Amino acid sequence: MTPSIFITGTDTGVGKTIVTAALARALRDLGRDIGVMKPIQTGVARTSEGWEPGDAEYLAAVSSTGDPMDLICPVRLEAPLAPSVAAELAGTAVDLDRVLASYRKLRTRHAGVLIEGAGGITVPIQKDYGMADLARAMDLPLLIVARPALGTINHTALTAHYAQAVGLTVLGIVIAGMPAEPGLAERTSPAAIEQLTGLPVLGCMPFDSNIDVERGDPGETVEWMIASGTAQRVLDRFSLAASGHSNPENP
Ligand SMILES: Nc1ncnc2c1ncn2[C@@H]1O[C@H](COP(=O)(O)OP(=O)(O)OP(=O)(O)O)[C@@H](O)[C@H]1O
Ligand SMILES: C[C@H](N)[C@H](N)CCCCCC(=O)O
Ligand SMILES: [Mg+2]
């Protein structure tokens, strides 16, 4: 089964783009027809040649899906803020019809699509419409990307509980940027998160100094996605959720 997943994070800057790109490339390498999407990108400057590159360009470069950039990233805003706030500053509103039309088009071009949100799950896109509403409108389960450092238990549990409270299915958690020599918090948080949330930590991606976002170089993260079994665990969790069971311990 080819998955479509909405990738959210416990915060901005936690590694959603790095994880989404590596997962998309890994799933494509495993033979899955996957597209990528960054529906709303904020914090990118408009130049005389168009928009400066952002997450969408990294996702496109790493995954090589070959889709037009205006489908991968239909809405861009200059201010490095939540979409609703950035749109208001620009004197506009996020065009949700355009976002959903692009998503539907990508779904016709691929068997599955990985969608990267902006910031965390409660971030507003319009007044009274946030990332969780978008995930629901797309009818997608979530993957949560979290930091390895102290504080991540609380941020991850809050994200998971909020998502589930508004009716979203959470497939699991990927921790991004695990240091080569993890401290006590980094070593113990994954198990604590699993215990607290009842959700699986599907992988702890190592910190990779070879990642070069501007050059579209994912370092070793694609190989890690496959070799660590993380890509396969994501596939398994998606299949389980699609068959109506969200808890692998109780299939
Ligand atoms: N595994 C990793 N190894 C090394 N650096 C990482 C790793 N994961 C993330 N980073 C670093 O953290 C930065 C932020 O990650 P990323 O851009 O994926 O965050 P994000 O959650 O997508 O943020 P945004 O909300 O802006 O979309 C990256 O530019 C990268 O330098
Ligand atoms: C600009 C940044 N990199 C993201 N694209 C947007 C993050 C919005 C976070 C809003 C918030 O939670 O305060
Ligand atoms: Mg990102």
Tell me the pLDDT tens digit for each residue of 150-191. 999 999 999 999 999 999 999 999 999 999 999 999 999 999
Q: Is the pLDDT of residue 66 over 90?
A: yes
| Residues contacting ligand 1 via CB (< 6 Å) | 9, 12-18, 55, 118-119, 176-177, 205, 207-208, 211, 213
In a domain, 248, yes or no: no
The confidence band for 195, taking pLDDT boundaries of 50, 70 and 90, is very high
Range of the domain at 212: 5-242
Which ligand is nearest the CA of 124, by number? 2
Whose C-alpha lies nearest to ligand 1, atom 9? 15
| Phi, psi (degrees; rounded to nearest 5) at 80 | -80, 70
Q: Is the pLDDT of residue 248 over 70?
A: no
Residue 66 region, left (φ>0) first, then alpha (ψ -120 to 50), else beta? Answer: left
In a domain, 80, yes or no: yes
Q: Rounded to the nearest whole angstrom, what is the distance from the C-alpha of residue 249 to the centroid of ligand 3?
A: 31
Q: What is the pTM of this model?
A: 0.97
Indicate the DSSP class of residue 195. Answer: H
Q: Rounded to the nearest whole angstrom, what is the distance from the C-alpha of residue 116 to the centroid of ligand 3?
A: 7
On whether the CB atoms of residues 194 and 168 are closer than 8 A, the answer is no
In a domain, 249, yes or no: no
In a domain, 59, yes or no: yes
If one compares 1 and 135, the residue with the highest pLDDT of the two is: 135
Q: Which residue has the tokens 């979409």?
A: 83
Q: What is the mean pLDDT of residues 219-244?
A: 97
In a domain, 70, yes or no: yes
Q: Is the pLDDT of residue 14 over 60?
A: yes
Say how far apart CA 20 and CA 8 lie, in whole Å.
10
Interaxial angle between packed helices 152-165 and 184-197, expressed in degrees from 0 to 180 and rounded to the nearest 10? 20
Which ligand is nearest the CA of 86, by number? 2
pLDDT of 93 = 98
- State how many domains the chain has: 1
Average pLDDT, the chain: 96
Q: What is the mean pLDDT of residues 59-65?
A: 98
Q: Rounded to the nearest whole angstrom, what is the distance from the C-alpha of residue 92 to the centroid of ligand 2?
A: 18
Q: What is the mean pLDDT of residues 111-121?
A: 98
Is 55 annotated as ligand-binding?
Answer: yes
Q: Active site residue: 25, 28, 38, 233, which one?
A: 38
Q: Is the pLDDT of residue 247 over 80?
A: no
User: What percent of the chain has a predicted confidence (pLDDT) above 90?
Assistant: 96
Q: What is the mean pLDDT of residues 67-83?
A: 98
CATH number (domain holding residue 181): 3.40.50.300
Say how far apart CA 156 and CA 165 lie, in whole Å.
14
The confidence band for 244, taking pLDDT boundaries of 50, 70 and 90, is confident
In a domain, 250, yes or no: no
Atom of ligand 2 nearest to the CA of 13: 3
Q: Is 38 a catalytic residue?
A: yes
